[in-house]
């Protein structure tokens, strides 16, 4: 890829993440596997090197305490994009604050759309598919009896290798340094 895009995500590795991954496979079986995640910085080109971006992330994230968010209702971004998602209902402001803090050089990018904390279920190819998929997702989520809480303790810096194929570059812990100052 000529100019790869980068993003910052918080993987959801708990029962709600498993629920979303299974629902995504049901709604769009052709889609390559995509781990359930909350997006902190949506895909963007870097304005610098990977190493400078990692340094900014590590420095800023070490000053942010881990936090918990709660998931709300299933919604869609129609007509802007044919995406079905679960809105972050409680503590979404923490994700917005983190986004704003990290959306700085070399990671700065003007957002295509207003940043809204959410957990993507699936992005479909056409609006026509969305209504039926939305109804299924809404029904499945209404029947979900597990915890709707997500503890955000670690972020992952990722790079797009090819369309819909993202590679993890580095874990970025919240509230503590990744390496000691003496090892630099």
Task: Report the pLDDT value the prediction gives residue 179, as an integer from 0 to 100.
Answer: 54
Per DSSP, helices labelled H in the chain are 15-27, 50-61, 92-102, 127-142
* CATH superfamily label, 6-183: Cyclic phosphodiesterase (3.90.1140.10)
φ, ψ for residue 155, nearest 5 deg: -110, 165
Supply the pLDDT for residue 180. 47
pLDDT for 162: 86
- pTM of the complete model: 0.90
3-state secondary structure of 104: coil
Question: Is the pLDDT at 152 greater than 90, yes or no?
Answer: yes
Task: For residues 36 and 53, give the distance between their C-alpha atoms in angstroms, rounded to a whole number.
Answer: 23
Q: What is the pLDDT, as a whole number, of residue 183?
A: 42
> Could you state, in order of their start, the residue ranges of all structural domains in the chain?
6-183
pLDDT tens digits, 9-55: 999 999 999 999 999 999 998 887 789 999 999 999 999 999 999 99
Task: For strands 149-152 and 154-162, give the pairing.
Answer: unpaired
SS3 for 71? strand
62-104 tens-digit pLDDT: 999 999 999 999 999 988 889 999 999 999 999 999 999 999 9
Is the pLDDT at 182 greater than 80? The verdict is no
Of these ranges, 25-34, 109-118, 134-143, the one predicted with the greatest mean pLDDT is 134-143
Burial of 134 (0-12, 13-18, 19+ CB in 10 A): buried
In a 3-state reduction of DSSP, which class is residue 174? Answer: coil
Residue 184 has pLDDT above 60, yes or no: no
Through-space distance between the first and last CA atoms of the chain, rounded to whole angstroms:
30
The residue count of the chain comes to: 184
């Amino acid at each position: 890829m000529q100019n790869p895009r980068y993003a910052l995500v918080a993987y959801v590795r708990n029962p709600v993440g498993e629920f979303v991954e299974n629902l995504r496979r049901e709604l769009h079986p052709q889609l390559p596997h995509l781990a359930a995640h909350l997006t902190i910085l949506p895909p963007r080109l870097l304005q610098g090197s990977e190493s400078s971006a990692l340094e900014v992330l590590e420095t800023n994230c070490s000053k942010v305490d881990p936090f918990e968010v709660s998931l709300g209702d299933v919604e869609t971004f129609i007509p802007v994009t044919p995406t079905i998602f679960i809105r972050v209902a409680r503590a979404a402001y923490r994700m917005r604050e983190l986004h704003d803090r990290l959306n700085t050089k070399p990671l700065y990018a003007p957002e295509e759309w207003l940043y809204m904390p959410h957990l993507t279920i699936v992005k479909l190819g056409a609006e026509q598919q969305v209504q039926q998929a939305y109804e299924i997702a809404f029904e499945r989520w209404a029947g979900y009896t597990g915890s709707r809480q997500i503890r955000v303790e670690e972020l992952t810096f990722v790079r797009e290798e090819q369309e819909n194929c993202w590679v993890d570059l580095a874990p970025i812990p919240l509230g503590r340094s990744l390496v000691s100052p003496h090892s630099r």
